[in-house]
Amino acid sequence: MRMNTKNADSGRKTIPPKLVGVPRLIAATVNSAAGLKAAFLSEEAFRLEVYAFFLLSPLALWLGNGAAEKILLVFSLVLILIMELVNTAIETIVDLVTQDYSEYAAKAKDIGSALVLVSMLFAAAVWMIILI
């Protein structure tokens, strides 16, 4: 679970022991929900993509002919959300490591942004191929 405990002697945070079984699954679910909430609250792009997902998913289910088309249309939208989460994680880690300009930091952020762009181009291509 995410809860860190403080070491009374040094004031440093220690990593709690690993959970196993059902408690581990519950903790992972809680942490995942916290990650989704953090991304939604802190990233405007993620919020817009979530809104687009909820707007376009019903349309995909209505316009798709057969299960395969419906799955492809919806999956292409889910892929955008996944890539935005990966991009947000990359940006967060880079910002944690350095606030100074770095070619490596800029490259990492650009590649993360490219993930989102490629997923959006993929979604557009899927929608165009299926619907046109």
Please give the structure tokens belonging to residue 42.
């802190």
Start-to-end CA distance of the chain, whole Å, equals 47
- Spell out where 13-91 has E strands: 13-14
Going from the C-alpha of 124 to that of each of 27, 64, 110, 132, the distances in angstroms are: 36, 14, 21, 11
Measured between alpha carbons, how far is 1 from 88 in angstroms, rounded to an integer? 21
Please give the structure tokens belonging to residue 56.
């376009």
Q: Is 84 a catalytic residue?
A: yes
How many other CB atoms are there within 10 angstroms of residue 3's CB atom? 7
Which member of 43, 44, 84, 103 is catalytic? Answer: 84
Q: Annotated active-site positions, please?
A: 84
